[in-house]
Structure 1
Amino acid sequence: MGLPRRPGRVFVISSPSGGGKTTVVERLTRRLPRLVRSVSVTTRPPRKGERRGRDYRFVSRPVFERMQRTGALLEWAKVHGEYYGTPKRPIVRTLAQGRHALLSIDVQGARKIRRALGQQAVLIFLLPPSQDVLRRRLMRRRTESASAVRRRLAAAAREMACAQWYDYEVVNDRLSDTVAQVEAVVTAAEAEPLRPRKGIGGA
């Protein structure tokens, strides 16, 4: 008889805009095949270089609102004037397979995930080395005006104030070090006994 399948966990990575979470998530999923990245849905238009279905599912506002009404989203939030959400069905499927879901979402969404899943969710906040580094990263994008960058920096200060209620805080300075630290968090969480909560719902 085989060993019983261990329940999957939900790992949430948040950071301010420009904090580097997208790159960290991409590197983690290449290193750890047992992590399945959740593809968020959003009403914002694609940025240069983003691919539909890989980076985000880009949908219209009416489609997003229908997903809200029908309970198809595990969490959703309005960020910088656009809506973002996590589809429920892929998360349910991933956890049922004994694998882990990896979500790259903001602090609003992380709060909702914690309320829904309790300790089945592991929350990780990536902090920039400094405010100056964050500003340079945002300016390097060349996708936003100076006023938009200022708004994002103000929002970043509010988001970083929320890092204290995450399970882990990791300073994202050198990418290799950041990935190694988050990988260690995953390994430690896997070693902990867990009785999964029933509350995510079927989809």
Structure 2
Amino acid sequence: MEIKRRGLLLVLSSPSGAGKSTLSRLLLEKDEAITMSISTTTRSPRPSEVEGVDYNFVTIPEFEALVEEDGFLEHARVFDNYYGTPGAPVEKALTEGRDILFDIDWQGTQQLAQKVKSDLVRVFILPPSKQELEKRLKTRAQDSEEVVAKRMAKANQEISHWAEYDYIIVNEDLEKAEQELFSILKSERLKRERQTGLVSFVKELMGEED
């Protein structure tokens, strides 16, 4: 038996190198009830990217029109391109009881909280130490020494917003961090206010009529 519930928006934020992307991938691989948020962007698609799967690609005038219509839950300009989360598909998913995963920073999280705070579950991923964070950034060999230095310099600013989140996971051991993340998601799904079918279920259980 499954009681109807409203979906939730799970936000993962962290400084670069703390393990947010790895935890996101594991969650998406192992839980079919949650999908990644698809952002709208004005940048050109890369060769491997698919419209409607990786991003929704639009022109700058189209994006600005959506901003004017209050069509985004959150949006930002990153370098010369715009990125945003359209509100309509998110609301549709929530109503249908589907969960959406967001891999965004503290600024995007603040914007989401202004629009959909009751649906939001905010998780911040911390590294066990600054030394470990720098080691991870260097070990993954994706960035130059200069880029690593910039990411480390930015880490303090990002970490300073930890208290704005509902849950904190210190990612020292990946398996433990993964278990903690799944526990958070399971608990949030069971919250009474999200189980929209409980009223009718309990009435039926008690033999009462609507």
Decide which moves more: 98-107 or 52-61: 52-61
**1:133 aligned partner:** 132
**1:88 aligned partner:** 87
- Secondary structure at the aligned position of 1:8 is classed as coil
**1:73 aligned partner:** 72
Name the CA distance, whole Å, in 2 between partners of 1:122 and 1:113. 10
**2:207 aligned partner:** none
- The Cα of 1:142 is off from its aligned counterpart by 4.2
Output one character per residue of 1:55-96: Cα deviation in whole Å (capped at 9) or x when no partner: 555666555444433433210134577543222233122112
Name the CA distance, whole Å, in 1 between partners of 2:64 and 2:139. 33
Verify the 8 A CA contact 2:5 2:194 in the aligned structure 1.
Answer: no
Name the CA distance, whole Å, in 1 between partners of 2:15 and 2:45. 19
Name the CA distance, whole Å, in 2 between partners of 1:125 and 1:132. 19
Name the CA distance, whole Å, in 1 between partners of 2:144 and 2:135. 13
Amino acid aligned to 1:172: N
Q: Percent identity?
A: 35
Name the CA distance, whole Å, in 2 between partners of 1:132 and 1:164. 22
Output one character per residue of 1:114-165: Cα deviation in whole Å (capped at 9) or x when no partner: 1211232110001112212222333345444433322222221111110112
**2:200 aligned partner:** none
**1:166 and 2:165 equivalent?**
yes
Could you list the runs of 5+ residues in structure 1 that have no partner in the other structure?
197-203
- The Cα of 1:193 is off from its aligned counterpart by 1.8
**1:23 aligned partner:** 22
Q: 1:40 to 1:174 in 2, by over 3 A?
A: farther
Please provide the CA RMSD for this pair.
3.0
Decide which moves more: 17-26 or 74-83: 74-83
Name the CA distance, whole Å, in 2 between partners of 1:62 and 1:138. 37
Amino acid aligned to 2:100: A
Q: 1:81 to 1:143 in 2, by over 3 A?
A: farther
Output one character per residue of 1:167-203: Cα deviation in whole Å (capped at 9) or x when no partner: 000012332221211110011111212269xxxxxxx
Aligned length in residues: 194
Name the CA distance, whole Å, in 1 between partners of 2:139 and 2:61. 33
Amino acid aligned to 2:90: I
Decide which moves more: 139-148 or 22-31: 139-148
Name the CA distance, whole Å, in 1 between partners of 2:125 and 2:90. 22
Name the CA distance, whole Å, in 1 between partners of 2:108 and 2:91. 17
TM-score by length of 2: 0.77
Could you list the runs of 5+ residues in structure 2 that have no partner in the other structure?
196-210
Q: 1:21 to 1:59 in 2, by over 3 A?
A: farther
- Secondary structure at the aligned position of 2:193 is classed as coil
